Amino acid sequence: MGMMKFDVSHSLPKDEAKKRVEQLLHYWGTKYGVKSDWSGDGAKLNGKVMGINLDASFVITDKAVQGEGTDPGMLLRGQAKAYLQKKFGAVLDPSKSLADVKNSMD
């Protein structure tokens, strides 16, 4: 199976972006059993989210979260990209505090 690239911009300091993404990965781990392994400013993930196999890696830069993951195929590609954009976009929203992000994951 091929790979699907994703890129979600942000305007937060990199450390703040990482803390917020950690909350998202904790949520995916708790809700779906997705395992994550951090190395520096990046992480590798594997598991299933909403029934779709997820094998992905990404890195947090000063301006974006960039990565690639298993392409779920033509029929689900749009939904998978939209889901990633929505989830990463929500946690990286500068109008929300880290506490708001944590609370929205519950």
Give backbone dihedrals phi and psi of 63, rounded to 5 degrees, phi first.
-125, -5
DSSP per-residue string spanning 25-43: HHHHHHHH--EEEEETTEE
With the C-alpha atoms ordered 50, 56, 57, 58, is the resulting torsion angle positive or negative?
Answer: negative
Per-residue pLDDT tens digits for 40-97: 999 999 998 777 778 999 999 999 999 999 898 888 888 888 888 899 999 999 999 9
Whole-prediction pTM: 0.89
pLDDT of residue 103: 85
Multiple choice CATH, 3-93, 3.10.520.10, 3.30.310.80, 3.40.50.300, 3.40.50.1820: 3.30.310.80
- Left (φ > 0), alpha (ψ -120 to 50) or beta: where does 73 sit? left
> 81: part of which helix (H) or strand (E)?
helix 74-91
**Structure confidence at residue 1 as a pLDDT band (50, 70, 90):** low
pLDDT of residue 61: 96
Q: Report domain extents, the chain.
A: 3-93
